Amino acid sequence: MSFRVDVWEGGRIALFSLRANRLRTVLTTVGIGVGVCTLLAIVGIIQGINQSFADQLAQIGANTLQVSKFPWTMRGDWWEYRNRKNLSADLVEPILQASEHVVAAAPLYFDRVEARFLERRMASVTALGTTADYAIISSFTVDRGRFLTDADVDNRAQVAVIGAELARTLFPGLDPVGHRIILGSKPYRVVGSLEAKGTILGENQDTVVVLPFRTFQADFGKRNSPNIAVSVDSPDNVLKVQDQLTVALRRERRTPPEAKDDFAINRPEQLANMYAQLTGALYGAATGVGLITLLVGGIGIMNIMLVSVRERTREIGVRRALGAKKRTIILQFLMEAASVSAVGGTLGTVVGLGLAKTVSFITPLAATVEPLTVAGGVGFAAMVGLLFGIWPAARAANLDPVEALRHD
């Protein structure tokens, strides 16, 4: 009961003191608010980027592999990778037979072309040569028409499936299915269009045009080394399949037993690890800047509270002489410091959220702030107030009542 009375009285006196020194309170609140705002904006942007990257990796699929000439994360001499023998579409069949857990495999040939329809055109379109099985491996979803078929590949059909942005640009207000587009100098009949997919790891998936890979080879050449996309029945079997594919590919490519692999089997997990390595130090430094800013705000609170103790020395002496306990004095000043910090933290949280959203709106950077982070921002600000208020509160409680009463 006595403790609750102390809390009630301490809170009431603290609020009265803050109201009596409005300018000082506002300045202190702004100081802690700037710290929380900076920290929350940085954390919001970091969380947004992390979530965006995780979403993009999810679109690649945790149960997929990609066999290529170059690894996604290069370690070593680039020329060593450059001099490797090219892959070929003939490896698809051995890959399918290498493991019972392989669901589908498809070659991927890439090139950059200009796409035209009548007077409309789009530059730097990604031409992708593949097979019908790529629909199983990828997250492409047909919006209109159909995807490629085995007959399209076998007959080298001049057909194409186009991305959503390409469809909007070349065929505004029209159904693109059945029309002919020009890629480079070759005509192709559009048999389907894809649903919007967005950007994955910097590549716009909506400006792609998918062709039968034999048609691609005939029109754009066979010299490029394809990637081979592989779908596994479960993420739990990915590492097992990787080992089985390694054995099968070394056998097919007649790699000597003492030689290193002359191909790479890439997993989305490798990109996640590389991302963590590249951004870990950056995120640590950015968070450190926010914490330093908050520390400066905490020092400001301590300074203001020490001034408050000095100004109210006589008041403290009177209260101690009338029987106030040290605990009561400590609670009063701690609550005063925590109140200022909590208010500043709340204002800083609101401004920080707005700043993070503004950054995500006007720049490519994403921003996502979890509810727990918001609660943590306000709670952490209050803790900063308590921490930096301990010394002033203890100093006030330990004043000698007789000496405090003599203070002018």
Indicate the burial class of 148 (C-beta count within 10 angstroms; 0-12, 13-18, 19 or more). buried
Helix (H, G, I), strand (E, B) or coil at 158: coil
Look at residue 1 in the predicted model and tell me its pLDDT. 46
For the chain, 408 residues long, give each residue's pLDDT as a single digit of tens: 455 545 555 555 555 655 656 666 676 777 777 777 777 777 777 777 777 777 666 666 678 888 988 887 777 677 777 888 888 889 999 999 988 999 999 999 999 999 999 889 898 899 999 999 998 888 788 999 999 999 999 999 999 999 999 999 999 988 999 999 999 889 999 999 999 887 766 677 888 999 999 999 998 877 778 999 999 988 888 889 989 999 999 998 888 888 888 888 888 777 777 777 777 777 777 777 777 777 777 777 787 777 777 777 777 777 777 777 777 777 777 777 777 777 777 777 777 777 777 767 776 666 666 677 667 766 777 777 777 777 777 777 777 766 666 665
One-letter amino acid for residue 103 of the chain: V
One-letter amino acid for residue 407 of the chain: H
Q: Rounded CA gap, 165 and 126, in Å?
A: 12
Q: What is the pLDDT of residues 131-169, one digit of tens each?
A: 999 988 887 889 999 999 999 999 999 999 999 999 999
C-alpha distances in angstroms, 95 versus 35, 101, 154? Answer: 55, 11, 20
Look at residue 216 in the predicted model and tell me its pLDDT. 93
Look at residue 25 in the predicted model and tell me its pLDDT. 67
Q: Rounded CA gap, 294 and 41, in Å?
A: 13
Look at residue 15 in the predicted model and tell me its pLDDT. 59
Look at residue 33 in the predicted model and tell me its pLDDT. 76
Look at residue 212 in the predicted model and tell me its pLDDT. 95
Q: Rounded CA gap, 11 and 28, in Å?
A: 18
Q: Rounded CA gap, 391 and 42, in Å?
A: 30
Q: Which of 31, 27, 40 is nearest to 350 (CA)?
A: 40
Indicate the burial class of 407 (C-beta count within 10 angstroms; 0-12, 13-18, 19 or more). middle
Query: Which DSSP category does 260 fall into?
Result: P
Look at residue 26 in the predicted model and tell me its pLDDT. 72
For the chain, what is the radius of gyration of the CA atoms? 33
Look at residue 156 in the predicted model and tell me its pLDDT. 93
Look at residue 114 in the predicted model and tell me its pLDDT. 92
Look-up of token digits 């099968």: 248
Query: Which DSSP category does 86 fall into?
Result: P
Look at residue 341 in the predicted model and tell me its pLDDT. 75
Contacts of 177 (CB under 8 A, 6+ apart): 144, 145, 190, 191, 192, 193
Q: Rounded CA gap, 371 and 377, in Å?
A: 10
**Residues 294 and 39 sit within 8 Å (Cβ to Cβ):** yes
Residue 288, φ and ψ in degrees, nearest 5: -60, -40
